[in-house]
Every structure is written in C-alpha cells, then in structure tokens.
Amino acid sequence: MKQVCIVGGLRSYIGVENGMYRNVSAEQLGAHVLREVIDRYAIPMEDIDCIIAGNGVGAGGNLTRLMMLEVGIPDEIPAMTVDVQCGSGLEAIATAAAKIESGLADVILAGGFESCSTKPLRIRNERHPDYVREDTEAAKSAQPVTIDPNVYRTAKFAPGRPDELAMLRGAERVAQAWNMDKRRLDRYAMDSHKRAEMAAESGELQEILAAPFSAFPAKDREAVAFEGAGRWKRSLHEAESGTDQYPKRQATRSSGTQDDRDEGIRKRMSEALLDRLPLLVPGGTYITAGNACLTHDGAAFVVLCSKEYLLAHNRNRRAELVDVVAAGSDPARSPESILPAIERLLQRNHLLPEQITAWEYNEAFAVIDALMESRYGSNPRYNIFGGALAYGHPYWASGGILTLHLMQAMNRLECPEGMCEKYGIAAIAAAGGIGTAMLIRSSI
C-alpha cells in the first residue's frame, strides 16, 4: 500500500449567501481556486490523474467536470463529484487517498466547492410520492411558506415527510437530549468569532488563502489556459510583473464589495446581540442564527500524491494522511454523528484524545462544540483559528477548509508531551446522520 502525502492546498475567502459572490457560480469559484492551486504548486497537467470534489446544491450533473473544464484543464483528465452532504469535502479527500494508496493514481486534487447564492430552486415531479396536492393540510403547513409547496431548497435526509427545517430540528433535538445551556451555546459562537478575528488580523491563514476572486479583471481570468507540457499561459499582469502567483492585492468587485476577507466574521458579536436573535425552530428553545452557522459560498482544494511521486519530484509534504473513518447515526440527530466517527478513528489508530496535537471540526451548530466538550473535555487545541460559526459552512467545501486549517494549526501548536509526531483530526457531522473523521500526521 502506498503512503499518501498532502503537499498543500488553498481555499477561497468565504462569502455569505447573496454577499460578495452573489453573481459567481459554484463552478466559477471552484475553478478560480483550483487554477491557483495548480499554479502555486506548479503541478504539471500531465501528472494529474484525477480531480475529485464535493458539490451538492449546484445545478447537478458531474459539476466537478464542468468546473475542471472552466479552468482549461485538458479533456483527457477525469473528474468526479461526491455527495455525502456536509461530509463531501472530506469524503472526496478520502476517495482520492484510497485511489493513491491502492496504486490507482499518483496525483489527485481533491476538495469541494459550493455556491448557496446561485443554487437553483427545485420542484417535485407530480408523480413523486412527496408531491403536495393543492388545498391539502400538507400544502397549508409547508415550511417555509412558498407560493408552491413543491418548490424546495433542502434535500430529504430520511424517510417520511420532507422538512426544510430538518437540520435545525436535528440540532434542537440534540441540545434537548443533552440538556445543553443556551447561554453556553451562544458563548461558543462568540469565542469562534473572536478566534477567527484574531487569526485574520495576524495573518495566520494567509498561506492557505487563494487570491481574491477579483484579483484579476474577468478578461484576465479567462485568459489563463493550458499551454502544453503541463504549463500555464500567464496573464498579461503576470507576464509584465514576472510573478509566479496570483497577486495578493486588495481588489473590488463591480458590486463594490471587497472580497479579500471572510465575510461571515463579526467583530462586534456580543451576548446582548445573541440574546435578541429569534429562535429558528418553532417551539424550540436553543437554536438561533447566532449559534447556528448561516449559508455560504466557498471552495477549497488540496494536492494529494504518493510518497513515491513526492520523492521522485523532490517536493515537500505538509502532512501524511493516515486514516479516514465514516460512521452512521440517527439522521434525526445528525450533529451527534461526529462522535462515533472520531471514536472509531482514535480506537483504530490506538490513540488517546490527549495525544492529538490539533483538532478541526465543523461547528455548523454550537451544539457540536458542546458535544465535543462533553465527550473529550474542554481543549484549547479545538478550532484554534475559529470555526464555521464565524467563517461559515459552504457545505461541500467544508472538508477541504477543515483540512487546510488543520495543517496550519498543527504547524503552530507544540506536540503533546511524550509524542514524537504530530497528529491532527478533522471531523464533520453531515445531514442524514453520517460523521466523517480524518487523521493526518506530520513530523515535529
């Protein structure tokens, strides 16, 4: 079995739905990040065996293939799209690792991309069992209320009646079952924003950030194309400046909105503000727009390769991918799925929680922070740069974002006492009750 190495990767700045990327499709945003990953890491086109990415709320089809063609990658390179809901980005990386480990590939770019801003509305076929006839009780009670109760935005995650609020209700059920403290949940959100703000101000994540989408005018972005032997035709700006990367300069889109920042981070998040936010689940007592993340746009990709390829091409690795575990749980309480995934990962690799250098988990809800603390205790190594409550959760891109943040955290944190290698865990709970946890390792 081949050893799987992570060379590095990049993510976009993360935008709030209908914010700075409101006119940018998922495939355009994904192509922008993928293009810069290939450029920055000087990956020869002929060496790329496959591109694997998660996408779920886009227009459908093999959207990763469309995104790849947007970049100008040669037609003969295959691409595949993964959909395990929120866990898709991690599952894309896991699939890439499995192909490399088994010898089916040597170099794969993997991650995810998402645009809530441009996602299509969907409508049920009248022959489908879930189709709602007019003037029925189901039509009258459809949530949220729309002109047509058969128009929906959220997939169906379990048998039974479709529910647009399924994820929110799941978080509410978990909070009730674990007897959580609403004020404590709100404090997790405040802490997340504070850590994210500090990371932004200190430039902790600058190394993994792709240039703003508008760093080049559209005509220059479209000019980037494949030019044989795995090389890129440089834009006019790069040719004149002699640089090998997209310029890290402040830029403004035609809408007038800066896109050189993570749009969801709030500097003035306070307990008073969180107290005023309305509850999102009818009859609920916990979940608000403050302790649940909003909906977002973003993209993230990492470069994975075999150790043989790494040595043959004299490249440096950021980390080694050790193991990935997926675990199912009650779909009606999907946030809990993160726990069995992490537990199996630790057991399978004979590790204790205190031996982990850094943890990155997707805090789509503050209840996940509470679950982690309840099971593994309070830990300053959790999400040290802040989490999804601040940055956001661009669904299928989140696995790639977690992986990139995790590698940065491992680089910054000291190894736990008694350990001669650094281990990091990235974990995510997905809609439908599937948790995914990944273990990576790096030398001290």
Catalytic residues: 86
Q: Which helix (H) or strand (E) holds 13?
A: none
271: tokens are: 């307990």
Q: Is 305 left (phi over 0), alpha (psi -120 to 50) or beta?
A: beta
**Rounded to an integer, what distance in angstroms lies between the CA atom of residue 371 and that of residue 174?**
9
- CA distances, 76 to each of 65, 69, 73, 226 (Å): 11, 11, 9, 13
Extended beta strands in 77-228, E state: 79-82, 107-115, 122-123, 151-152, 225-226
> Nearest-CA neighbor of 9 among 403, 385, 301?
301
Using alpha carbons only, give the angle 183, 189, 194 rounded to the nearest 5 degrees: 125
Q: Could you give the angle at the alpha carbon of 375 between the alpha carbons of 156 and 269, nearest 5°? A: 70
Residue whose entry in the numeric block shows the structure tokens 């679950």: 371
Given a contact cutoff of 8 angstroms between Cβ atoms, the answer to whether 88 and 402 are in contact is: no
- Rounded to 5 degrees, what are φ and ψ at 321? -85, 120
**Secondary structure letter of residue 214 according to DSSP:** T
What SS3 class is residue 82? strand
Classify 43 in phi/psi space as left (phi over 0), alpha (psi -120 to 50) or beta.
beta
Strand stretches in 225-342, DSSP E? 225-226, 232-233, 296-306, 319-328
First to last CA, the chain: 24
Q: Which two tokens stand for residue 241?
A: 């400046």
Return the structure tokens found at 84: 């395990």
Classify each residue of 59-70 as buried b or exposed e, where b means 16 or more C-beta atoms within 10 Å of its C-beta.
eeeebbbbbbeb
Burial of 330 (0-12, 13-18, 19+ CB in 10 A): middle
How far is the C-alpha of 290 from the C-alpha of 45, rounded, in Å? Answer: 43
CA distance 398 to 12: 11
Length of the chain: 444
Q: How far apart are CA 375 and CA 398, in angstroms?
A: 23
